[in-house]
Homo-oligomer: A and B are copies of this chain.
Amino acid sequence: MKKPPRPPGAAVTAAEVGRRAGVSQSAVSRAFSPGKSISSKTRQKVLAAADELGYRPNLIARSLMTRRSNIVGLAVAPLENPFYAALVKELAQGLRPSGRHLLLFPAASQTEPDPQIEEVLSYHVDALILASTTLSSTLANRCRSLGVPVLLINRASPLEGVSTITGENHRGGETIARFLLAGGHRRIAYIAGLEHTSTSRDREAGLVEGLRQGGVELFARAVGDYSVERAVAAARALLDAPERPDAIFVANDYMALPVIQLIRGEYGLRVPEDISLVGFDGIPEAGYSGSGLTTYSQPVAGFVAGALSVLDSLIENTGALGSGVQVEGQLIVRSSARLPQTGLIECDGTQTWIG
């Protein structure tokens, strides 16, 4: 005759396991915390009892004492962009060894982190990652006073004490400029992302700088706001102008892909014979078609590796706050832009350009 068990849906508790194993509740706790002093005999008993009862330590209760939730908050707005989808996936997977998990919250816009982040902060996350989102100084202060480290991915920040991981936005833009120039283009246009973002601004600045070095000015620009609809509209504006660009650098692949479709389909232009297109990010989709998109890559693996290491040192309080990691990319040459005569090299099956 067993006694009536716990109310249904209530979890087994460490005390119950202790009772079953004939040890104290503390012993149960020790059995489940690596590195605690406990005899292996006691541990065996506890583990056996736990197994029978289906016990697992309640992580919420644990985190109340340890002041470590093993939860990392993640704000990421443009999940429809495969670059970010991949980032989230890899990040979640990369976090596994550390036992940490991502608590997701949708940033309403890429501009301002909204009040919901406050909510997430009340969960006492061990760190906060903002991918493609701006950080207000208010929130930054809030995080600092709560002792929550903040990591910006793919965004620069003027705020001190905030760590960042970025790609080679400026260098990428510059490389693209030189590449297009070497390919014989002279009327080079830019389709920007969101105007206030560091990614879009830095890529444009790099482009302009590279063009300037070649004695050429930016031919035209339009704004795509990192949205497909806006990007297509921007492309239309560029193509409907009296004089067309002979090349367009689109601020990211996610916008470049539909733009290239538009140009081929609706405008019936040949790419790259009539007009060249170059993107940024190096998402897998850019390489799918036979005539793939030439793009400057931001390797997701690099971003994730950087993020994990920064996160670790931030959470363990090693290393300085406010560090900035830059992930190297490269120009992936495919067939959406006319090729220069020289400087093309093949490396690991992908073609790149060493200008």
Contact = CB atoms under 8 A, between A and B. Distances in A.
Interface of A: 8-11, 54, 56-61, 63-64, 67, 69, 71, 74, 79-80, 82, 85-86, 88-89, 92-93, 96, 99, 101-106, 116, 118-124, 142, 145-147, 228, 257-258, 261-262, 264-266, 284-285, 288-291
A237 to B, nearest CB: 18
B122 A59 contact: yes
B56 A60 contact: no
Contacts of A264: 290
Contacts of A74: 104
A104 B85 contact: no
The number of times this chain is found in the oligomer is: 2
A319 to B, nearest CB: 16
Contact of A88 (B10, B71, B104, B258): B104
Contacts of A99: 119
Contact of A9 (B147, B265, B290): B147
Contacts of A88: 79, 88, 104
Contact of A89 (B59, B60, B79, B261): B79
Q: Which among A57, A59, A67, A258 has the highest number of chain B CB atoms within 10 Å?
A: A59
A217 to B, nearest CB: 31
Given A80-B82, A85-B80, A86-B80, A101 B104 contact: yes
A124 B79 contact: no
Given A10-B67, A58-B122, A80-B85, 19 more contacts: A8-B147, A59-B122, A59-B124, A60-B63, A60-B69, A60-B123, A80-B284, A82-B82, A85-B85, A89-B106, A92-B104, A92-B105, A99-B119, A101-B103, A102-B103, A104-B104, A261-B288, A261-B289, A265-B291
